[in-house]
Amino acid sequence: MTHVFGPVSSKRLGQSLGVDLLPPKSCTWNCIYCQLGRTKEYSVERREFYPKEEILSEIQEAIDSGAHIDWITFVGSGETMLYRGLGKIIDEVKKMTDIPVAIITNGSLFSLPEVRQEALRADAVLPSLNAGSEELHQKISRHAPGFTFKRHLEGLIAFRREYTGNLWVEVMLLGGVNDSDETLKDITSALAQISPDMVHLVIPTRPSTEKDVLLPSDERIEQAVILMQEVAAVVHPIKGSMDLSGTPDILEAVTAITLRHPVQERELKQALEERFSDTQQKAGEFMKQMFGTGRFRLITQGGETYWTKKAE
């Protein structure tokens, strides 16, 4: 398995080199909006899923390639902090480079002191908070037994007390689920207890396995911004663009990205047009060649077509 993918363009993290530490799908939650599909069996035990040396070798290779990297981002095919020893990996990465390190996590394991200790090494930590009550937390995250909203919130509060880096809490806003005035106030109240440096509002722009996952209206997004900006600065959920300009092997890069999440076809086409703007290569022709490799399949949701990795 290839653990490193990108760099890919991220609205929040610029050119982000992704590092996947987990076999799909290893998670403590089974979120209704998850782009990776349903969690067939919960993972709750932290393990060293792959050798640290293997992961570090790939990171070093990506750094040595000369590609522009703004962040090295640990984001698993499931819950990132299930990887035992992530702190040691981050320590080694910091010996390699001055590029800052981020962790994207659902935050479900932060009630464990050992997990908080490992995450302290990162320059930015991006945990999830999608509800302000036990009932809604269960409805959205559909967590493993024992992973209650109370435990989740207390873990994030405890981490904030210890962590001096950038704590950017991610709130997934789902139309008709957690975007009412009451639920937004509950989420804002929970955020106030955590005291993050920033709130990143995100919306379900990628396909999920659940048909009732809907985008919130512009009015509901704006209401969320109004409420939550009383707690911290809010990043508005405008989708970033894909950047393949510095990618030496586009086919392998797109394959690695689609293994982790679907890619919007028109976003991919735009990225290829920018990549080939100074050459005779045609974006449309290259897309046909890539699709002809048999690595990808197309799915449609909300009138948009997405590329995803074909199951082997």
- The verdict on 118 and 191 lying in the same domain is yes
CATH number at residue 13: 3.20.20.70
Interatomic CA distance for residues 213 and 31, integer angstroms? 11
Closest CA to 187 of 220, 147, 144, 145: 220
Neighbour-count burial for 269-299, b at 16+ CB within 10 Å, e otherwise: ebbbeebbeeeeeebeebbeebeeeebbeee
pLDDT tens for 112-129 read 999 999 999 999 999 999
Q: Both 231 and 284 in a single domain?
A: no
Give the Cα separation of 244 and 253 in Å (integer). 8
Q: What pLDDT, on the 0 to 100 scale, is given for residue 164?
A: 95
> Do 149 and 62 reside in the same domain of the chain?
yes
- Flag whether 42 is in a domain: yes
pLDDT surpassing 90 at residue 188: yes
Q: Do 182 and 301 lie in a common domain?
A: no
In a domain, 246, yes or no: no
Q: Is residue 242 part of a domain?
A: no
pLDDT score for 272: 86
Does residue 253 lie within any of the structural domains? Answer: no
The answer to whether residue 304 is domain-embedded is: yes
Query: Does residue 243 sit within a domain?
Result: no
Q: How many domains does the chain have?
A: 2
Dump pLDDT digits (tens) for 154-170.
999 999 999 999 999 99
Instruction: Note the pLDDT of residue 210.
Output: 75
pLDDT above 90: residue 39 = no
Q: Which of 200, 198, 82 is nearest to 147 (CA)?
A: 82
231/281 same-domain check: no
Residues 171 and 299 in one domain: no
Residues 141 and 95 in one domain: yes
Query: Any bridge partners for residue 125, and if so which?
Result: 103, 167
Which residues are within 8 A (CB) of 18 and not within 5 positions of it... i.e. 6 or more apart? 4, 5, 6, 7, 8, 73, 75, 256, 257, 260
pTM score of the predicted model: 0.80
Q: What is the reported pLDDT for 271?
A: 82
Which domain range does residue 158 map to? Answer: 4-235
Rounded mean pLDDT of the chain? 88
